[in-house]
Amino acid sequence: MKKYAHCFSILVAMFMLTGCVAGGVSFVKESVVPKDKALVYFYRPNNFQGSALDVTVKDNDKTAFKIKNGQYIKYFTEPGKHKFYTDTMAIDKPTEIELEVGQAYYIKTGLSVGMWTGTWALNRVYESEALEELKSCKSGKK
């Protein structure tokens, strides 16, 4: 009987976690960035830690969007200085970046779990690294 209860518990957990993963289409890189905008790809590789949380990303103190586990967001914005950070109760490490017209940037969202709290980080990464990790992410709506 214990054997069946254990198997049932595992199945229930798997079904619950399936709902925490982003749906949508696979990553497609924009061929052209509008001439008056900058493009930032935010992505969050599928990871068990923090998977149940949708993370709100802020841009210069304004809510920009929420990102789910295993998701990417195409974020078109005005060029200039931007401070991106998450709106969570965890410790947050913001990323400040000067965006240029017509350029594309890649920012990876991740959670580092510590002894007492987690730390959300938005890290700018090279295109080559991002494109490899983006293969496993699905689109999200901004």
Distance CA 111, CA 88 (A): 11
In this structure, how many other beta carbons lie within 10 angstroms of the beta carbon of residue 110? 18
* Contact by Cβ (8 Å): 92, 123: no
**What pLDDT is recorded for position 80?**
97
CA distance 75 to 40: 5
Q: Is the separation of the CB atoms in 126 and 48 below 8 Å?
A: no
Task: Tell me the pLDDT tens digit for each residue of 66-102.
Answer: 999 999 999 999 999 999 998 776 667 789 999 999 9
Q: What is the pTM of this model?
A: 0.78
Average pLDDT of span 45-50? 81
Cα dihedral 112/74/72/66 (nearest 10) = 60
